[in-house]
Structure 1
Amino acid sequence: MRWRDAAMAAFCLGLLAAPARAQDTPEGARHWATAWAGSVQGPYPVGNPSAQPDQSFAFPDPAEGARDQTLRLVLRPDVWGREARLRISNAFGTRPLTLDGVHAGLQLGGAALVPGTNRPVRFAGQDRVTVPPGGEAWSDPVALPFAADPDAPLLAGRKLAVSLHVVGLSGPMTWHAKALQTSYSTAPGAGARGADEGEAAFPYSTASWFFLDAVDMAVSAPTPVVVAFGDSITDGTASTMNGDDRWPDVLARRLHARFGNRVAVVNAGIGGNQVIGPAQYGPQKPFPGGPSALSRLDRDVIGLSGVASVIWLEGINDFSRNGEASLQAVEAGMREGVARLRARIPGVRVIGATLTSAKGSSSAAHGHPEQDEKRRGLNAFLRDSGLFDAVVDFDAATLDPATGGLRPEMVPESTTGGKGDRLHPNRAGYVAMGSGIDLGVVLPGR
């Protein structure tokens, strides 16, 4: 065990035995803030994963889905609290989803957990939950003794491992394809292994999240949540696998440097997503980019806890040859979306983000002159319409004036080391995007 992991284990075990402090928040003062989100987009395997291992050993038949097996999903909460609650989604399932043996613990490395941190999760007091097709379920609050001091510096950036045992057959699995984070699975038929602290029972890896789509943390004071809403450039395509260097991650680290554990940034991007398309979406008629931004707005933004600001970066896929939408239709969709956000989340701050260039993209669906004309038209709308409370200029942060495309150093892909597609910025591009945001625009007056 490396020193840092050994030190963290000792720290966590010490916290397990720590008595409650006088300043612990009374039950009546508990607030919930969404600390992580993984927007569900459809039934596996329809989607756009990155660096995905072969899934045929873990899930031999997508129609059957998971079979009596345990998934160990790894995620990074953007804030910590003494308690957490989990949202399970069967949004795109076609049969009831039954889970038991759900646990949450601190990841040590791989599928292994820091000893002594794993805790059972219950639903309405029971250790089993059945979620109907199209439905969702929130867990009961689960105590996280290792987060007895949520402000502890050693917790920053640590990852939570949520284990879910699928009872019987799940059927088509509701998932988020592009996690850019390695999670783990037992073999089919392996049974409930969520209580295991070790990794031996979890031989298979995945670069996606299944069924879990939100984690809330209990916080002692209102904690503003910033939602990054959009497509693959928010989801993080071409950034570093397991590197947490999407532009929302960069923004989150800057906000935490200023405000500590008193703000959260969550990522509601879906690779291939569109503002207004497709017109119809469901388990029998899926689309790799998931349901439109407008149709998922309630679940992926309005349904989260503590939302104070939304940064919306989207439209490039509407203009692609997969969408072929007009500029006017996308503008109208954005007006509708902004109006719904303001009607449903009092006081929310809605920030538009200019689209980065796809000019010269190697993708057959992107990079054509007529598409770039629409992109520049939407950017003018974002800057000049007055629809948004503020605008962040990602185009300016990434544009090469000489070519009209992405800056050359932002093209090579960080995930696999490939040459890049001139559509998705790499890590250097995402760092420039996240670093260029005026924090006062995101959370004014703080």
Structure 2
Amino acid sequence: MLVKPSVAGTSWRIRVTNEFGTRPVTFQRAYAGRQSTGANVAPGTNRPLTFAGRSSVTVPAGRAAWSDPVPVKVSDAQTQRLAVSLFVAGASGPMTWHAAGFTTSYLSDPGAGDHTADRADTAFPHSTTSWFFLSEVQAQRPATSTVVAFGDSITDGFFSTINGDDRWPDVLQRRLNERPSARGPVSVVTQAICGNMVTRIGRTPGGCTPCDGPPALDRLDRDVLDVPGVRVVILLEGINDLGGGNATADQVIAGYQEIIRRVHARGIKIIGATLTPSAGTAFGLYGTPETDAKRRAVNHFIRTSGQFDGVADFSAVTEDPANPGHLKPAFDTNSSVGGPGDHLHPNRAGFLAMGGAVDIAQIQRYALAPAA
């Protein structure tokens, strides 16, 4: 599995997860190296991972495990990727996975045995754009200030370019890198799940509930508050509650208020991102006038309530002024596979506009301020 870290580093830990499994999973061997091309690992970089000093680890259902640090040099986080290889011994049962990674990773043949130490791509003939069992990669370096992009498919990069690293959090990371601070780097960590919701209301009948992950209210501790060095959160969620679950605007706002309260209680700043338009979407309730009215009410709260520490007005930069409620036509295509868009997910151009709408000076001021 290939992962582009947000910061450079020489030592790394990985987190393997069986949080949504139904039986123990044994990771018999694991390696981490630096990608050269495709599934090839750069010579001299592929290192065995250990877990509490052991070469294998069995992770019970509902649990996760951290590896020990492993030395792999990534000198340029913008161009270099880590290659993490896992060998699962025996049957795993249902896998915990990140379905929409928009990054190519590679698989060996079924039943081919342990190829974690292999450097050549001939051992990994199959490709995927998902990540399996790997939930986090963490640089072991002096304290880095972290911004968490907390969201759903529009933060996850749905309709972004495969291997293009052009999700809006990627754009934000590049902008921060172009404006370095003497007080240290700022890392943008993406914690997004396609279909995710703020509230616990759930999908309307026929929706893809198992795909959505735990709602933001339930995953806030794991995916935001427990992230090392987190100083700022940018929250972009709610359209799935309105268009996929038929929540009211007040229910989404109440969810925001609980998240704001819990984030502020930890001394962390939170930026509210306005919901991008979805009129014309053919599935669920996303495309209805009622959903657009609720979206506008939610955005009014984000912009005017004063409860967020700042606003990233993604709606303002993506909505078509000639056709209110709709994405700009230039943003309504599919950059992943080509062809038309779905009127819900912005394309690469839309993500560039969104990443450019974040107030970099404000992010750096919050992220690099002395700890309270």
TM-score (norm 1): 0.78
Quick one: which of 87, 96, 108 aligns to 2:24? 96
Task: Kindly report which structure 2 residues correspond to 1:51-70, keeping only aligned pairs within 5 A, or say none.
Answer: none
CA distance in 2, matches of 1:309, 1:155: 21
The letter of the residue matching 1:239 is S
> Is contact 2:86-2:116 (8 Å) kept?
yes
2:133 is aligned to 211
> Is contact 2:246-2:285 (8 Å) kept?
no
CA distance in 1, matches of 2:251, 2:213: 19
Quick one: which of 176, 198, 201 aligns to 1:275? 198
* Alignment deviations for residues 305-330 of structure 1 (CA, whole Å, 9 cap, x no partner): 1111110001001001x301111111
Q: Is 1:240 matched up with 2:161?
A: yes
1:313 is aligned to 236
CA distance in 1, matches of 2:268, 2:330: 36
2:144 is aligned to 223
CA distance in 2, matches of 1:227, 1:364: 28
CA distance in 2, matches of 1:155, 1:255: 13
Quick one: which of 97, 119, 123 aligns to 1:197? 119
The letter of the residue matching 2:220 is L
> Is contact 1:309-1:443 (8 Å) kept?
no
1:251 is aligned to 172
1:263 is aligned to 186
CA distance in 1, matches of 2:77, 2:333: 32
2:40 is aligned to 112
1:5 is aligned to none
Per-residue deviation at 1:303? 2.2
> Is contact 2:274-2:312 (8 Å) kept?
yes
Task: Kindly report which structure 2 residues correspond to 1:7-18, keeping only aligned pairs within 5 A, or say none.
Answer: none
TM-score (norm 2): 0.93
Q: Which runs of 5+ in 2 are unaligned?
A: none
Task: Kindly report which structure 2 residues correspond to 1:22-171, keeping only aligned pairs within 5 A, or say none.
Answer: 73-144=1-72, 146-147=73-74, 152=75, 154-171=76-93
The letter of the residue matching 2:211 is P
> Is contact 2:146-2:186 (8 Å) kept?
yes
CA distance in 2, matches of 1:257, 1:290: 34
The letter of the residue matching 2:245 is G
Per-residue deviation at 1:365? 3.4
Q: Is 1:409 matched up with 2:330?
A: yes
CA distance in 2, matches of 1:342, 1:91: 27
SS in 1 for 2:100: coil
The letter of the residue matching 2:237 is E
The letter of the residue matching 1:309 is V
Quick one: which of 316, 328, 333 aligns to 2:250? 328
1:441–1:363 distance in 2 versus 1, CA, 3 Å: farther
The letter of the residue matching 2:318 is T
Quick one: which of 272, 289, 305 aligns to 1:352? 272
SS in 1 for 2:79: coil
SS in 2 for 1:112: coil
CA distance in 1, matches of 2:157, 2:303: 24
Per-residue deviation at 1:155? 5.0
SS in 2 for 1:169: coil
1:92–1:363 distance in 2 versus 1, CA, 3 Å: same
Q: Kindly, what percent of the aligned residue pairs are identical?
A: 51
> Is contact 1:78-1:157 (8 Å) kept?
no
SS in 1 for 2:90: strand
> Is contact 1:119-1:142 (8 Å) kept?
yes
Q: Which runs of 5+ in 1 are unaligned?
A: 1-72
Q: Is 1:175 matched up with 2:103?
A: no
Quick one: which of 334, 356, 370 aligns to 1:435? 356
CA distance in 2, matches of 1:156, 1:357: 30
SS in 2 for 1:403: coil
CA distance in 1, matches of 2:60, 2:262: 27
Number of aligned positions between the proteins: 360
Larger relative contact order, structure 1 or 2 (CA cutoff 8 Å, min sep 6): 1
Per-residue deviation at 1:100? 2.1
Task: Kindly report which structure 2 residues correspond to 1:282-301, keeping only aligned pairs within 5 A, or say none.
Answer: 287-301=210-224
The letter of the residue matching 1:366 is Y
- Which consecutive segments of 4 or more residues in structure 1 shift more than 6 A? none
> Is contact 1:301-1:307 (8 Å) kept?
yes
The letter of the residue matching 1:375 is R
Per-residue deviation at 1:202? 0.7
Per-residue deviation at 1:121? 0.6
The letter of the residue matching 2:121 is E
Tell me which moved more, 385-394 or 368-377: 385-394
* Alignment deviations for residues 42-86 of structure 1 (CA, whole Å, 9 cap, x no partner): xxxxxxxxxxxxxxxxxxxxxxxxxxxxxxx11100012221111
2:315 is aligned to 395
CA distance in 2, matches of 1:198, 1:328: 54
SS in 2 for 1:179: coil
> Is contact 1:228-1:266 (8 Å) kept?
yes
Tell me which moved more, 258-267 or 182-191: 258-267
Q: What is the root-mean-square deviation in Å for CA atoms of aligned residues?
A: 1.6
CA distance in 1, matches of 2:177, 2:81: 16
1:235–1:402 distance in 2 versus 1, CA, 3 Å: same
1:20 is aligned to none
CA distance in 1, matches of 2:29, 2:346: 40
The letter of the residue matching 2:31 is H
Quick one: which of 223, 226, 232 aligns to 1:303? 226
CA distance in 1, matches of 2:66, 2:102: 25
